Amino acid sequence: MVVAIGVGIAIMLSGQKAEQAQELEQAFVDSVKVAERAQAAVDSVRLAAAQNAAAAVQTLRDRFSQADLLQAGKRAKADYDRANEYLEEAVRLAAAGDANDAERQAQLGLERIDSAIDRSGKIQEREELAQKDRDQALARLRTEVGALQESLSVLQTNRGPAFAAAQMQQLQQIVEKASQMADAGNLNDAQDQVSYAYDMTSKVRLAIGDGLRQEEEAKRLLEQRRAQAAKDSIERAKIDSTQLALPPTRPVITKQVSPVYPRAAEAAGISGTVEVEFEVGIDGRARDFKVVKSLGAGCDESAVDALKQWEFKPATQGGKPVPVRISFPIVFKRR
């Protein structure tokens, strides 16, 4: 009886253990499935994170291409360089499997590269506006150079070279230099030359004006002198005709030099008079000699040589010195 009960109890206990074993086995299977599902979820999350990180890195790389087109590396170098550092770090983290940090680094890089793109775009706009202003200023400058060249041509025909030759030459050189600088796009230096040319143009115009005024004054003075000369001529013409009819006075000798007695004449025993006709000018000197009575033997020449050294108080007629012709005897006597 007791044995039977024990066997029954053993059978009952054995059945309970089997059920428990089955339950434990089922619980293990269920836990494995849960773990597998959890791992799958983790893998899915990791994959998504990796994909997101890769997409963020690719987006950042694409943005770098856009930034390079805008020359962000040149115009916004600090932001561009910092974004490049974020890109390199994101690539490193992604390769190490740290997708989340890689994505964060890529996002930071995107912020910096977008800042660089924005800054570069604004700088480009300013550069384009500055270039537009520069082009407009250059066009105005070329117009001014053209106007200066026209002014130079006008000054050339308005007797500029006559009154301001050096300034005209300098102005021409300045205008040519300004034109060359404008063609080369050297705006500031060309503008300086244009300003200098305008100043020089004003000086040339003043010089021409002064020259024309001086020329007019010279003409006026010349006309005055001519009018006065005509008046004086009329006044002289009014001199008493009786004074004009009077013969001129005779010149008065103020210096007399004796002739040299030629040796040939002395040796030949020649003596006598040489008469010479000559003119006494208003300066009191004898000139235009003519021997009207000759002795020969060198006496004629000696007489003329002596007369050339004589000085006279000139003859006068109407109170004014006049040239007259006279004759004078030069005597040669033997000693």
Average of per-residue pLDDT values in the chain: 80
pLDDT at 273 over 80: yes
Tens of pLDDT, residue by residue over 96-116, are 888 788 889 888 988 888 988
Per-residue pLDDT of 284-303, as tens digits, reads 999 999 999 988 888 889 88
Beta bridge partners, 278, equal 326
Contact indicator for 182, 190 with CB cutoff of 8 Å: yes
**C-alpha 210 chain-centroid distance:** 27
Position 124 confidence tier, pLDDT thresholds 50, 70, 90: confident
Does the pLDDT at position 36 exceed 80?
no
Cβ of 179: how many Cβ atoms within 10 Å?
20
Note whether 278 and 307 are within 8 A (CB).
yes
Neighbours of 299 (CB within 10 A): 26
Q: How much is the pLDDT for 314?
A: 92
Domain 247-332 has CATH 2.40.30.10: no
Half-sphere CA count of 204, side-chain side, radius 13 A = 28
Q: Is 0.85 topped by the overall pTM?
A: no
Distance CA 110, CA 246 (A): 126
CA 162/CA 184 separation, integer angstroms: 33
Q: Which CATH class is domain 31-121?
A: mainly alpha
DSSP 296: -
Can you count the helices (H) and strands (E) in the chain? Answer: 10, 7
Q: Map tokens 């773990």 to a residue.
A: 35
> Hey, what are 212's tokens?
């024309």
What are the Cα distances from residue 216, in Å, to 167, 202, 222, 225, 265?
A: 22, 21, 10, 14, 69
The answer to whether residue 175 scores a pLDDT higher than 90 is no
Judged against a pLDDT cut of 90, whether residue 275 lies above it is answered with: yes
- How sure is the predictor about 177, in pLDDT bands with cuts at 50, 70 and 90? confident
Judged against a pLDDT cut of 80, whether residue 152 lies above it is answered with no
